[in-house]
Structure 1
């Protein structure tokens, strides 16, 4: 077997937010075709996992049947382009970028785990696959290394005085957290970080985080719960807007039965 990262069916199902039996059903319906070992064991590559997440969203949020899902998946360009971090002219995944940062500061996985509270196994897996960390965990890692999530995901500085991004032509952060899609509404890093969040049912930050700055959000569709300081709860519905200071510990989760979409702005660029 080559060095391509592959997951067993239980791992792939967990990352997609479904059961192993569901993956077997989707395979029988021709929606996904995993790699098979000589003994017949199913193995799923990162591209399979992203496809599974897409299938789940089309099935639960859009209510499509298997035939309609197959047709939707066959349409090229149905999902936004995903950025990869570049370093010294070579493309790198966000996991590889974090491994490079860790080695630059001379830290072991054990030391990073001790400082961030993220387990060694999760850190090791993420450095190899760029999969499996929550938004909070990724933010804590960025803070540990003295950088930001936007910088980790490849948003470089821009000298242009303006930025025009056409509808549905957004680039997206690498899909590190299950059910969370972050799309860039500007090119390059600006004094305002403007993002479009798509949250699958049940998606959350998986914990509270804080940083310098101010935040503004406007809900385009669905419903989201924001928790400030651990004990103040705010439910935002379609059309609602919300502002708060980023230094206040904040967490969030999609409380809608379907997808929630919102515009999220941070200033200065500290997210």
Structure 2
């Protein structure tokens, strides 16, 4: 397993709220040296890396033992969407762990006759969606509209709202809400 020394150094430096220039000053090396190491354009010798880490200060053992968070996944295959609701309404979420995230994106599928219930939903934030297939009646604060493919909605989620399929065809849409509140 190859270790990303440059990425690790950059993460440690940023955690400590140091600029490249400040770390180079503390370590007694040039700013270009820090920049080249972080960009993985040079592979520092153990002695050079030790000198840079002395500027933090941090030992080689601490540097290599430090657990850094894995980078967030940016792309998802259809089979990687997380099912967060099954039944007459299916919600497939983009991304698993939304902690620290500001946005939730869902692929929603409503079976014919499905609805979110007689009691309107209410929660904090905003939400919006675009209908891909079928017809969906969206009611927001007592106002209803039937939306078809290409139509969209966007409203403040604390307003009472509900969704209901119109017709015998399933309805599919892409929706988003911020903050993640579903």
Measured against the shorter chain, the TM-score band is 0.5 to 0.7
Match of 1:209 among 121, 145, 165: 121
Which of these residues, 241, 247, 253, is aligned with residue 158 of structure 2?
247
Unaligned 5+ segments in structure 1 are 1-157
User: Which protein, 1 or 2, shows the higher relative CO under an 8 Å CA cutoff with sep ≥ 6?
Assistant: 2
In structure 2, which of residues 96, 105, 129 is the aligned counterpart of residue 187 of structure 1? Answer: 96
Q: CA RMSD in A?
A: 1.8
Describe the SS at the equivalent of 2:123: coil
Once the 2 structures are TM-superposed, how far is the Cα of residue 166 of structure 1 from its aligned partner?
A: 1.1
Question: Which of the pair has more CA radius of gyration?
Answer: 2
Q: Is the partner of 1:173 in helix, strand or coil?
A: strand
Q: 1:174 to 1:260 in 2, by over 3 A?
A: closer
The residue number in structure 1 matching 2:38 is none
Q: If the length of structure 1 is used for normalisation, what is the TM-score?
A: 0.38
Match of residue 146 from structure 2: 235
| Larger relative helix fraction | 1
Aligned partner of 1:198 in structure 2 is 109
Q: C-alpha displacement at 1:173, in angstroms? A: 1.7
| Contact preservation (8 Å) 2:90, 2:110 | yes
Structure 2 residues not aligned, in runs of 5+ = 1-68
Q: 1:219 pairs with 113, 124, 131, which one?
A: 131
Contact 2:138–2:144 (CA under 8 A) maintained in structure 1: yes
CA distance in 2 between partners of 1:208 and 1:179 (Å)? 17
Q: How many residues align?
A: 111
Counterparts of residues 6-45 of structure 1 (less than 5 Å): none
Alpha-carbon contact 2:82-2:95 (below 8 Å) kept? no
